[in-house]
Chain A
Amino acid sequence: AQSVTQLGSHVSVSEGALVLLRCNYSSSVPPYLFWYVQYPNQGLQLLLKYTSAATLVKGINGFEAEFKKSETSFHLTKPSAHMSDAAEYFCAVTPRGNTPLVFGKGTRLSVIA
């Protein structure tokens, strides 16, 4: 079975500082991995997706994530946090096929001015 673990339910960074949100996955087959973002009172929105084409994936709003098979990780980063990045971030996994996404518990990102 596939699963993801997000380390840290809440991360707080200063505006302009590096953002690092951690995600480790468990999968019996090479997975597809995703990061979704949820702004207050909105639905989840796809941030970026890994499908094995390249290990470093760039997404919207300056975010990127690197797939590291040896570490079973897919951490999300952004060089410089902006106030508008404050949101809930979810890592998700699916094997290649028709199996629906399995989401992590989420990490709430706060950005301090």
Chain B
Amino acid sequence: GAGVSQSPRYKVTKRGQDVALRCDPISGHVSLYWYRQALGQGPEFLTYFNYEAQQDKSGLPNDRFSAERPEGSISTLTIQRTEQRDSAMYRCASSLRAGGPNTGELFFGEGSRLTVL
């Protein structure tokens, strides 16, 4: 597709369940980012990849959160043993390449809204 695609758009789960959120970036984009956005707040960085390599995971809150991008395209953010505090909008973005002349020019998907009951 032309833009960044995220699925599912909405996910309701019970506390303790695992969830997987998918991101399909713009074709040809090297860098892929995951952000989390709580209601009334700005996006908070979680992790990012260049190609398949995870460059920075300093924003992942704890070891229940993990992300992968095995073939350098689609990425999955996995949250294990979900807790109510994990409820938020999870946003994926892609860019041509981090650190290049297009630094900071991110293209965002519409997000996956996670609700943990």
Residues of A in contact with B (beta carbons under 8 Å apart): 9, 32, 34, 36, 41-46, 49, 51, 90, 92, 94, 96-106
With A9-B40, A44-B91, A106-B41 as contacts: A100 and B48 at CB distance below 8 Å: yes
Nearest-Cβ distance from residue A29 to partner chain B, whole angstroms: 13
What residues of chain A lie closer than 8 Å to B98, measured between beta carbons?
A: 98, 100
What residues of chain A lie closer than 8 Å to B42, measured between beta carbons?
A: 90, 92, 103-106
Residue B45 lies at the interface, judged by CB distance under 8 Å to chain A: yes
Q: DSSP class of B's interface residues: helix, strand, loop or mixed?
A: loop
Residue B56 lies at the interface, judged by CB distance under 8 Å to chain A: yes
Q: What separation, in Å, do the CA atoms of A106 and B38 have in the docked complex?
A: 12
User: Are the C-beta atoms of B110 and A42 separated by less than 8 Å?
Assistant: yes
Residues of B in contact with A (beta carbons under 8 Å apart): 3-4, 33, 35, 40-45, 48, 55-56, 59, 91, 93, 98-99, 103-111
Chain A CB count within 10 A is highest, among B35, B107, B108, for B108
User: Are the C-beta atoms of A105 and B40 separated by less than 8 Å?
Assistant: yes
User: Are the C-beta atoms of B43 and A103 separated by less than 8 Å?
Assistant: yes
Nearest-Cβ distance from residue B56 to partner chain A, whole angstroms: 7
What residues of chain A lie closer than 8 Å to B110, measured between beta carbons?
A: 41-43
Nearest-Cβ distance from residue B89 to partner chain A, whole angstroms: 10
Nearest-Cβ distance from residue A28 to partner chain B, whole angstroms: 17
Nearest-Cβ distance from residue B60 to partner chain A, whole angstroms: 13
What residues of chain A lie closer than 8 Å to B43, measured between beta carbons?
A: 44, 90, 101, 103
With A32-B104, A98-B98, A106-B42 as contacts: A43 and B4 at CB distance below 8 Å: yes
Nearest-Cβ distance from residue B107 to partner chain A, whole angstroms: 8
What residues of chain B lie closer than 8 Å to A103, measured between beta carbons?
A: 35, 42-44
**Which of A41, A45, A51, A97 meets B108, CB within 8 Å?**
A45
